[in-house]
Structure 1
Amino acid sequence: MGVWDDSAVVWDDLVEPWGIGSSLFQLGTVRTELLLGDAWTDITSFVRYSSGITVNRGRTSEGSSVERSTCSLTLDNRDGRFSPRNPNGAYFGLIGRNTQIRTSVALGKTRLVAPASVGDSASTAHTAALAVVGDIDVRIDVRLHSWREQSSLIYKWGTVGNQSWYLRLNSDGTVTFFWTADGTTSLSCTSTVALPLPTSGRKAIRATLDVDNGAGGHTVTFYTSDVITGSWAQLGDAVAVAGTTAIYNSSLSLNVDASVDGAIFYGAQVLSGISGSVVANPDFTDLDEGTITFSDMAGRTWTAYGNAEVTNRYVRFSGEVSAWPQKWDPTGTNVTVDIEASGIMRRLSQGKAPLKSTLFRGLTTLSTLPVGYWPHEDQAGSTVVASGLPGGPPMRLVRSAPDFGKSSDFACSAALPTLNDASWGVSIPTYTNTGNIQTRFLLGVPLDGIGTASDETIVSVSTSASAATISLLVTTAGELRLIINDRDGLAVLDSGALGVFETNGNLLRVSVEVQQSGGNVAWAVRTLNAVTREYLTASGVLLGYTIGRASNILVNPGGGPSDTVFGHLSIQKEITSLFDLTDELTGYVGEPAGRRAERLCAEEAIPFVGIGDLDDTVAMGAQTQEELLTLLQETADADFGIFYEPREVFGLGFRTRESMQLQSASATLSYTGQELSEMEPIDDDQATRNDITAVRKNGSSYRLVAQTGALSVQAPPLGVGRYDDSVTVNVQTDDQLQDQAGWRLYLGTLDEARYPTIGVQLARSVFTDELITPLLGLDLGDRMDVSDPPAWLPPGEITQLVQGSSENFDNLQMAITLNCTPASLWSTLGTYEAPLTRYSSDGSTLNANASAGATSITVKTLSGPLWGHGDGDFNILVDGEEMTVTAVAGSTSPQTFTVIRSVNGITAAHAAGAAVALSTPFVYGI
């Protein structure tokens, strides 16, 4: 462990103890609230701060799972208000198990928080100054959970006839500027490229419209920046369109608004003319907490609407209290309740029942439930087929028993039975006749057919009318056949073999539909392949008969078929599309990991926060029957994302792998500026993995081994020996396993020190609002840098990803300890032919000794392409010294590099054979 002695540094807290050095902390800094009924109630005055409030969240390392968040605090209970069973308590009947709690601190700069997508906004009324009808320059500075979700940003736009302009983010990451010249006819231009990575976080967006570009047309140009006061980089090409234009002068207010949840606005600007005079300039970062109405620097009066609020309050924890342990001293004067509240994961982990199969969940959540449903997911040894509807009757065995739990072929289901020459049936509960009967079920006929000498009835439904029995058969050739009998058992319709259908070797969902049409019966047989999604149908009309309602149903009434798979039998009184549960039928195979996490939370009514582009996540395999938290963790494991508990929302979140790539630092701390209270690098093998086997759930495997390099499987000193690991991931195909193994190998062979914890104490006087604000906003997966490290550590900034945190705070101090992992691999991902990304040579070394002052070196490359300077200067690393290569001479190995030495402050002589590599090697992500 590398621990430094800071005795030589004059830390200002030697004379200014933590907790009293900063005027930023004051009474009211901390707020704690309980959700009592439908209202949040402030209980801050009852919080005892002898030990402060402690919040833990996230995970300790990159490879571990996120644990439940916790918040520990002590409440004064002398008046008994926190005793749930005390009828004299002020909160009697309002608190108990799983009462929600949240705690927050008011520090740093303000911002406009718009929690919901509807109604949470800020606006200023129309004035003559806002009547920009010519060139316009619009800028917005906002933080979004995802820059790949369509959202409004800033606009003067309303109903047709009164529309000026509108800046919008599109779901593909491009930006569109809309305007009208007449208040009605919409014109628009869209950026030629998407916004750059990362796909979440804070960005400033700018659009300019030149209504007359001097060439008989108009031009829209887009720009991006980190913040609205930063330098602007053009986004793609300027979009020039023939014909001059103008902007309609509408009477509408100017709105800062987002049509997605959780937007945070920092500022906006509207300029009359490109880089012209500022006519609106709200700065939400320099206002008083709780401001509703204010005047901006251009003289516009702004008002926050809905639940939007100007605040410097940062929620540190949202959870629930599962227990209220009461304590008191012998005198009864010191009465307290020591609370450890938890995030929602604690409660979800209490129940161990796996989620039902996807088709079960789909059928039991239809807007109109079936009148009867029998999943057939019963275990071996069952003597009935249980109903999937509460209180529904089971199907009784008529002839022996099916082979329960025999087949797992259908991804949408738990193991299903094979027919096994058995029969079973049930009387269908009475329901109102609608003139419709739809019978649906899963059918898996073996490749060699049903194995009988004659056609066999698979399902037979009895009705209350003249079309008395509706039977579907599988022929000996594997085709389907529909027979309808009258009350005397005579066949009044025989479709014959429906050659359009081929059952043998296919996994099908079958629908048999009959519908009263005047005095006739319209019938249809349809199938949907559970793997290929191929849809087939056949239909016809039976004249002069009625169907009434379904009264009884029999499965395999004649026995016969043995190995045919059957399940998920439903009877519906309304005919619905066979496509209504297509995703459920396939087990959601191919679903993006982020969208699966979002869907699962929606199905379980759990509030969800998605960070990044949920569509640009790894394609998942089938959703199997697992506990909810296991299924959610599968999504994070497959995508290398983070499944976690958000601070601001009592719910769950998913941060995508892609949102953590190519980030700039969300916060930067200076070592020499005495902004750290803890930083202890460790060179160890905790994260080392150099022999990785990736296994697909219910699939194949792929193995990768690091054969060379500092952390390879070679024995020291050439490597570190073998560190093997096997991980099972639920991805869609075996072809994805190479990427899964490769990225884990990259992470497991990263040759850097770990910084398990980096700590700060915000009460120290070095911390201003400008420093505190980004630290309070740091969340799981964000990049955090440390600049100016001490001389005994490697030169250059220390870049880390936040994996978790522990906080302790009260009204006088706030200590934050961040759990970190190296961010370098996440920050050096490349894309083919992208600017600044290069291929590194494989195995280059110095061809001759290089003195400490040499400005040219010779480099030998034994294999692969040679080095080139066609794309400009680049930096290399030679035994820890970084050099800038300004020229490369020679078309064969060895080559001569012209270099600028000591880029990172290291100057040394280097011996022939020293490795030469890019100082920042790029890798390709999954």
Structure 2
Amino acid sequence: MGFDPRFELLVEGEWIPVRTYERDTIEVETGCGDGASQTDPGRLSITIDNRSGRYSTRNPESDLYGKIGRNTRGRLSVPGTTSYLELDGTVDGRASTPHHASLAITGDLDVRWEGEADWYAPGATFLIGKWGASGNRAWHMRVQDGILYFSFFYGAGLNLFVGYFLPPELPRHAALRSTVDVDNGAGGATVRLYWAPTLAGPWTEIVSFTEPGAPLTLFPGTAPLEITPTVQTDVTPNRLPLTGRVYKAEVRNGINGTLVAAPDFTAQAAGAPSFVDAAGRTWTLSGTAVIRDRADLIVVEVPEWPQDWQPDESDAWVSIEGAGILRRMGQGKKALQSTLRRRIPSYSPLAYWPMEEGNAASRAYSPIAGVSPLTLTGANWASADSLPSSQALPALAPTSSNPAMMMGRVPAPATALTAWAVQWLYRLDQAPASRFTFMRILGTGTIAEWYIQTGADGTNLIGRDDDGNTLVSHSIATGSDLFGQWVLVHFVLAQNGSNIDYDIYWTDVGGDAGHFGSSIAGSVGRPTAVASPPNGYAADLQGMAIGHISVWPVAGTSAYTNAVTAWTGETAWQRVRRLATEENLPLARIGAPETTELVGPQTPDTLLNLLQAAADADGGLLLEDATRPGLVFRERSSMYSQTPKLVLSYNQAPGLAAPLKPVDDDTAVRNDRTVQRDGGSEARAILEDGPLSVQDPPDGIGLYDDSVTLSLHDDAQAEPIAYWRLHLGTVDGPRYPQVRVMLHKAPHLIPAVLALGEGDLIRITDLPKYVGFGDVDLLVDGKRHELGQEHWEVTFNCSPGAPWNVGILDDPVLGKVDTDGSELAAAVDTDDTVLSVTVTDGPLWNTDPVECPFDIRTGGEVMTVHSCTTAAQDTFTRTVTTGWGTADSGQAWTTTGGSTSDYSVGGE
């Protein structure tokens, strides 16, 4: 096959090549279909040769019997543009060179590394280092929870590490650098961290840190130099090997000094087991590390293996329909548990009862092993559903024949306790006139029973011994804010010498906190049960909801932190990242400096729905990863004002399939947008004037409205999002739904096409007049590859890129602001060189020469303004670039009239 597509299956940790039939076209689809708003599961259609029966999953004579089957992983690749070191995160997968005298650096050090990694993944990942066993550790560079660290030993076994957050706009392929200036000339040492697109720079400083004191002497060690170093397990979190790709690395003796190691994997042949770098170091690959030169089009799971053959058994094949991970994720219908139910057990309480049972329940199970169910009678189960961080909880409904009784027994801890605590959530809408017990806590200490009572006039805290004698009695002035909302209560006992310190905290969910504390002589003992009063809850507590009762062997825990508010207020990126971490889902990020939208509470839903809700709130993209079964979150602002990754000339590119068909229709038009915050208010944005406005033709096109509900943190977010969506839905220009590129006719385009992802920009230039004018910018929504024996076509599903071209402060082009209205003061024709304009609305044109040149567009023509005159006469010297006027680049139009202001001006 002319383009050498290669299909491989992952079998027992090893990628094995599979022979495919050239008679059938290979099809690959990723991203969104035409007009779709969400990513479809990726799809791979390919036919493999099965004449040997090797890929018959039920064939016991196959060497793959029992090793392949449903959701075996496969990947399709084509020759890439460069080689790289591929590491799969296994412990023994690495490239290394032995210690050498040139690597025994004790002075200034400069370490550089270029590759691809999950920069923001949880845990610590080694990148490069001389980091052996304890006592033989010199230095290493790592990423950990989105932070770049450089750690080194110096002097008499002293360790210094410097770390700082990586910038959110860090691309997936990037270079990182750490330098150590052991003597900065000011009585100390300075460590600097940098990033760059590649090792060629330019380098951007992330952080600079100075260690005061005498100049340092670095510990050289004798450990090998490794990419990535051996796993380190004597710290938390463990330092783990890299899962990703490495292109180059450098170690220099001195900042910008002599190269002492320079592995360049891009210069190596695929499959090479070892090589000598430019500094003379010999590098050897071990374990699963491999030098590869392939570009992956898609990684899939194969859900089924349909067997086909000729009746005479002369041929047999398997027609595989592989699918991206979104297919499997979309088939899962089980909602993730509530945020409290998911989080609290991970903090190892002694006992925990979520109390999220169904409406016919009489007891609540515990997810903690060895803890018996909590019983609760006289309650309406699953009736209190106003707490976003929980499924519906029970509410008390005591009657004379069925009093509300509760008992949850706490197993004994493995060791004696010096402190313990009980936490729970409750809601009581109507304050009782008198004080009634709403929680009783039993224990083995000096205080055998604690009664916590609430009423309209305050709170009582009562402690009694085994004989019923009252040893503690406090009347606490609490306010009305404890009623009509959910409240988290935290009751703590701690041994303080011969005394018991006891404290109670109230926290309005998402609001203020209150506290009372005191002490008494005695011992804390251990908790044995949480319960209602002995005779049951009083009728005055009718309707009190209660749940998520937990008992702890320590005084404090952060188990409820953020989870109790269902994580509302975290950014869309934080939501996606946290969920991916909790579910062990590989996740990459295409970020940008602008912070993603704040999202609302995480309600129980499927993982895919929760991830998509966060992406929708930001207006970003949730994509499949082309290199593994994982996802990529592309933030909305990463698509602003992009430089095109693929530029195609309509009349010069043989690979652009003609005709390029514009569609001047109303399919994507939305001129009346409503955005509703889930659980909150709404905002509306309407285009009232202009050719795509809600006015009837010919002044507009009529009403095209829609409404969307988004997971937003605050009502104030709805309005700007509505106007942004209105902006996207009122592009006054034709659509180009698809662009088809024939790579078999233009192989020089292959590198750019392979580098193009969903959300990237394509620019079409040199359009003929009967198609349009100027350049056309298109955002890639999805891709379809068709590969045959002699052809390779790629079809891009596209949406207009123009509305994503936004203003950028201080940018020489995008930093200019237009007036709100200018019109010709006098008619012009093709031989005029001056435009006489009058500003009708908004800021006036700026006559400062530094603001020129800039482009304006009028009457279907793009003009470059070279100068503006004084207030008495504004002169725009213009050059035709596209349009209906004469195309002589030396021609200029100038206009007079109007006045100026201090505002800068720029074309649309």
Does the alignment reach a TM-score above 0.5? yes
- Is 1:40 the counterpart of 2:5 in the alignment? no
Asked whether the 8 Å contact 1:595–1:614 carries over to 2, the reply is no
Distance 1:717 1:268, change over 3 A: farther
> Residues 127-172 of structure 1: CA distance to partner in whole angstroms, max 9, x if unpaired?
7888999999987655566699999877889999999999999999
2-structure distance, mates of 1:188, 1:427: 48
- Is 1:824 the counterpart of 2:802 in the alignment? yes
Instruction: Give the CA deviation at 1:314.
Output: 2.1
Asked whether the 8 Å contact 2:864–2:881 carries over to 1, the reply is yes
Counterpart for residue 232 of structure 2: none
Asked whether the 8 Å contact 2:9–2:72 carries over to 1, the reply is no
Distance 1:801 1:115, change over 3 A: farther
1-structure distance, mates of 2:561, 2:803: 39
Asked whether the 8 Å contact 1:464–1:550 carries over to 2, the reply is no
Distance 1:219 1:834, change over 3 A: farther
Distance 1:216 1:490, change over 3 A: closer
- Is 1:65 the counterpart of 2:42 in the alignment? no
2-structure distance, mates of 1:417, 1:179: 56
- Is 1:99 the counterpart of 2:50 in the alignment? no
Distance 1:661 1:170, change over 3 A: farther
- Is 1:439 the counterpart of 2:439 in the alignment? no
Instruction: Give the CA deviation at 1:676.
Output: 2.5
Distance 1:514 1:42, change over 3 A: same
TM-score by length of 2: 0.81
Instruction: Give the CA deviation at 1:594.
Output: 1.3
Counterpart for residue 477 of structure 1: 457
Distance 1:795 1:239, change over 3 A: farther
Instruction: Give the CA deviation at 1:720.
Output: 2.6
Task: Tell which deviates more after alignment, 428-437 or 630-639.
Answer: 428-437
> Residues 179-235 of structure 1: CA distance to partner in whole angstroms, max 9, x if unpaired?
9998999999999x997x9542445678999999999999999998765668x5987
1-structure distance, mates of 2:783, 2:351: 51
Instruction: Give the CA deviation at 1:418.
Output: 3.4
What pairs with 1:382-421 in structure 2 (closer than 5 Å)?
382-389=360-367, 395-398=374-377, 400-402=378-380, 404-408=382-386, 410-421=387-398
SS of match in other structure, 2:440? strand
Instruction: Give the CA deviation at 1:621.
Output: 0.7
Distance 1:87 1:221, change over 3 A: closer
Counterpart for residue 580 of structure 1: 559
Task: Tell which deviates more after alignment, 148-157 or 308-317.
Answer: 148-157
Q: Letter of the 2:806 partner, please give it.
A: T
Instruction: Give the CA deviation at 1:472.
Output: 1.9
What pairs with 1:162-561 in structure 2 (closer than 5 Å)?
198-202=169-173, 232=202, 264-267=245-248, 283-296=264-277, 301-303=282-284, 308-363=289-344, 365-376=345-356, 378-379=358-359, 382-389=360-367, 395-398=374-377, 400-402=378-380, 404-408=382-386, 410-421=387-398, 423-426=404-407, 428=409, 431=412, 438-446=421-429, 449-452=430-433, 454-463=434-443, 467-479=447-459, 481-497=460-476, 499=478, 503-514=482-493, 523-532=502-511, 534=513, 536-541=515-520, 543=522, 549-550=528-529, 557-561=536-540
Distance 1:833 1:781, change over 3 A: closer
Instruction: Give the CA deviation at 1:607.
Output: 2.5
Q: Letter of the 1:330 partner, please give it.
A: P
SS of match in other structure, 2:875? strand
Q: Letter of the 2:874 partner, please give it.
A: T
Distance 1:798 1:512, change over 3 A: same
SS of match in other structure, 1:683? coil
1-structure distance, mates of 2:561, 2:206: 39
2-structure distance, mates of 1:664, 1:713: 33
2-structure distance, mates of 1:206, 1:432: 49
2-structure distance, mates of 1:370, 1:161: 40
> Residues 603-631 of structure 1: CA distance to partner in whole angstroms, max 9, x if unpaired?
22323223326993211111112222211
Distance 1:458 1:227, change over 3 A: closer
Instruction: Give the CA deviation at 1:838.
Output: 1.5
Instruction: Give the CA deviation at 1:67.
Output: 1.5
Instruction: Give the CA deviation at 1:541.
Output: 3.2
Instruction: Give the CA deviation at 1:269.
Output: 6.5
Q: Letter of the 1:781 partner, please give it.
A: G
> Residues 826-868 of structure 1: CA distance to partner in whole angstroms, max 9, x if unpaired?
3434247888512111012222223334333222111211011
2-structure distance, mates of 1:484, 1:60: 66
Distance 1:111 1:823, change over 3 A: farther
> Residues 346-380 of structure 1: CA distance to partner in whole angstroms, max 9, x if unpaired?
222223232221112222x324254341424534x
Instruction: Give the CA deviation at 1:477.
Output: 1.5
1-structure distance, mates of 2:143, 2:495: 50
Distance 1:240 1:62, change over 3 A: farther
1-structure distance, mates of 2:212, 2:457: 65
Instruction: Give the CA deviation at 1:384.
Output: 1.9
Counterpart for residue 7 of structure 1: none
SS of match in other structure, 2:343? helix
1-structure distance, mates of 2:69, 2:907: 55
Counterpart for residue 701 of structure 1: 682
Instruction: Give the CA deviation at 1:239.
Output: 12
Please give the root-mean-square deviation of Cα atoms over the aligned residues, in Å.
4.9
Stretches of structure 2 lacking an aligned partner (at least 5 in a row)? 230-239, 887-891
SS of match in other structure, 2:846? coil
Distance 1:307 1:706, change over 3 A: farther
Counterpart for residue 807 of structure 1: 785
Asked whether the 8 Å contact 1:420–1:561 carries over to 2, the reply is no
Asked whether the 8 Å contact 1:433–1:573 carries over to 2, the reply is no
Instruction: Give the CA deviation at 1:125.
Output: 6.5
SS of match in other structure, 2:725? helix
Q: Residue 617 of structure 1: which of 596, 604, 607 is its match?
A: 596
Distance 1:615 1:389, change over 3 A: farther
- Is 1:56 the counterpart of 2:29 in the alignment? yes
How many correspondences in the alignment?
A: 876
1-structure distance, mates of 2:576, 2:426: 30
Stretches of structure 1 lacking an aligned partner (at least 5 in a row)? 1-18, 922-926
2-structure distance, mates of 1:902, 1:865: 25
SS of match in other structure, 1:825? helix
Task: Tell which deviates more after alignment, 517-526 or 732-741.
Answer: 517-526
Distance 1:914 1:362, change over 3 A: farther
What pairs with 1:561-600 in structure 2 (closer than 5 Å)?
561-562=540-541, 565-572=544-551, 574-575=553-554, 577-600=556-579
Distance 1:77 1:839, change over 3 A: same
Asked whether the 8 Å contact 2:432–2:455 carries over to 1, the reply is no
2-structure distance, mates of 1:323, 1:668: 39
Asked whether the 8 Å contact 2:425–2:548 carries over to 1, the reply is yes
SS of match in other structure, 1:508? strand
Instruction: Give the CA deviation at 1:538.
Output: 2.3
Instruction: Give the CA deviation at 1:706.
Output: 1.5
What's the % identity of the aligned pairs?
30
Q: Residue 880 of structure 1: which of 845, 850, 860 is its match?
A: 860
Q: Residue 743 of structure 2: which of 757, 762, 776 is its match?
A: 762
2-structure distance, mates of 1:462, 1:210: 61
Q: Letter of the 2:426 partner, please give it.
A: L
Asked whether the 8 Å contact 2:111–2:177 carries over to 1, the reply is yes
Distance 1:362 1:178, change over 3 A: closer
Q: Residue 689 of structure 1: which of 653, 662, 670 is its match?
A: 670
Task: Tell which deviates more after alignment, 199-208 or 897-906.
Answer: 199-208
Asked whether the 8 Å contact 1:212–1:218 carries over to 2, the reply is yes
Asked whether the 8 Å contact 2:350–2:411 carries over to 1, the reply is no
